[in-house]
Amino acid sequence: MDIDELLATVPLDEHAEEVVYRIAQDAETQQVLDLARYEKVRHLARRKGQEQAEQAEKQEQRWGSTRLSDIGDRPTYWLWRHRIPMGEISLVAGRGGIGKSLVLCTMTAWITTGTMKGEFYGRPKDVIFVANEDSYEKTVVPRMRVAGADLNRVHRVDIEMPDGANGRLVLPTDCARLGEIVKATDSVAVFLDPLSSNMMDKDRNSPEVRASYERLRLFADRYNVAVVGNAHTRKGGGADLLEAIMGSSEIGNVARAALGVMRDPDAETPTVILSQCKNNYGPGDLESYTYEIREEAYWDPHSQWSIAAPKIVWGDPTDRNVNDIFAEGVQTVSHSDVADCCEWLRSYLEMSPGAPRAQVIREAAKEGYKEHTIKRAAKRLKIVSRMSGYPRSSCWSLPEQRVPTEE
């Protein structure tokens, strides 16, 4: 019986009613205090239990040292040769709406059909694909189909909660269970779209962020699986693309390789450039790729509908790098400097058609032109870039020039 019911059944004068209310208020205050003490005891118990667990773990640890001469050498194995290493975290970074998810779908198609140039070329392998923002039925599966993936080799992670709801993969907490799925499916890659949605620590200022990504990297190494995640970037905000990643910059530091995607600002049609923006184990002068996004329809026999989905259509290679384009967007160059450089560049290439790009930049530096200025001038003149020689290098010529090509 609450206080209002008590007052309704017992006739009291005004003074008695005030006394009853005060007693009730005191009781409620005491109840709150008791609850606070209870929660404090629970918190202290959890903290004590955590401290005891940490102490027990430290007691079980065994410390020592190992001579480097006793550590065996291990080569780097590549999921995508010289671009995405096995046993590491790699990124596909860029702004929204330019096909980062489609890049993951395309790579999934290559892996599951054995056409990715790397360790498993000619050997179709399985992939775990975690989509956090898109529907599998409406988006992921149609995209995989038009990309040419073998859907029998693509696996979704299913987590059923006690109440029957679908759970979300939380890393690095769920690394052990994810590892069991990797072994059960014999998968060689785990694609996370985007990676940040699955990470437990998201606060960029939290000291635990780096530790979380390091634990994920240990998972990749333990199961010898390539962990590839999409990362969204802000407009500007750093000297290169990885510094502009939303959330914590630690993801760019822990990742051993990163592919950057950015729209080509000088292309006449909507074109995206894909470049190697970080490569701790491979060469740093890899050529970039261009692609466009087009829609393709297919007939679905189950729904009896024609379904359309976007896919990547690859274009010609290019020597332009996403990091350079990103930096040019935040650097200021006067129009007069670019105009002067255009005159110099045109004169130089008229005398030396098909000159190596590196040579042109060196000669421009002797004349006082910085690299980003010469690149702006090259865009304005619509310089033609061709790969030639051995090792392969980019050579520049004016658009109206005809330079002999190698047979």
Write the CA distances from 263 to 157, 195, 268, 293, 322, integer angstroms: 32, 22, 11, 11, 9
Q: Answer whether residue 99 is part of any domain.
A: yes
Task: Verify that 198 and 149 share a domain, yes or no.
Answer: yes
* Tokens of residue 389, six digits: 């020689």
pLDDT above 80 (res 149): yes
Full-model pTM: 0.69
Task: Verify that 237 and 385 share a domain, yes or no.
Answer: no
pLDDT of residue 281: 94
* Tokens of residue 197, six digits: 């949605």
Q: Which residue has the higher pLDDT, 7 or 293?
A: 293
Task: Verify that 361 and 292 share a domain, yes or no.
Answer: no
Task: Verify that 153 and 237 share a domain, yes or no.
Answer: yes
Task: Verify that 292 and 371 share a domain, yes or no.
Answer: no
pLDDT of residue 2: 53
Task: Verify that 294 and 312 share a domain, yes or no.
Answer: yes
Task: Verify that 200 and 298 share a domain, yes or no.
Answer: yes
| Domain range for 129 | 78-324
Q: Where are the beta strands (DSSP E) in 95-216?
A: 126-131, 154-155, 187-193
What band does 237 get if pLDDT is binned at 50, 70 and 90?
low
Task: Verify that 282 and 177 share a domain, yes or no.
Answer: yes
- Within 10 angstroms of residue 256's Cβ, the number of other Cβ atoms is 19
What band does 251 get if pLDDT is binned at 50, 70 and 90?
confident
Q: What is the pLDDT of residues 4-62, one digit of tens each?
A: 555 555 555 556 656 656 666 666 666 666 666 666 666 666 666 666 666 766 677 78
CATH code, 175: 3.40.50.300
pLDDT of residue 226: 98
Residue ending a domain, among 324, 348, 383, is 324
Burial group, residue 183, by CB count within 10 angstroms (0-12, 13-18, 19+) = exposed
- As for how many domains the chain has, the answer is 3
Task: Verify that 262 and 382 share a domain, yes or no.
Answer: no
Q: Answer whether residue 71 is part of any domain.
A: no
pLDDT above 60 (res 403): no
How large is the average pLDDT for residues 93-99?
A: 90
What band does 407 get if pLDDT is binned at 50, 70 and 90?
very low
Q: Answer whether residue 132 is part of any domain.
A: yes
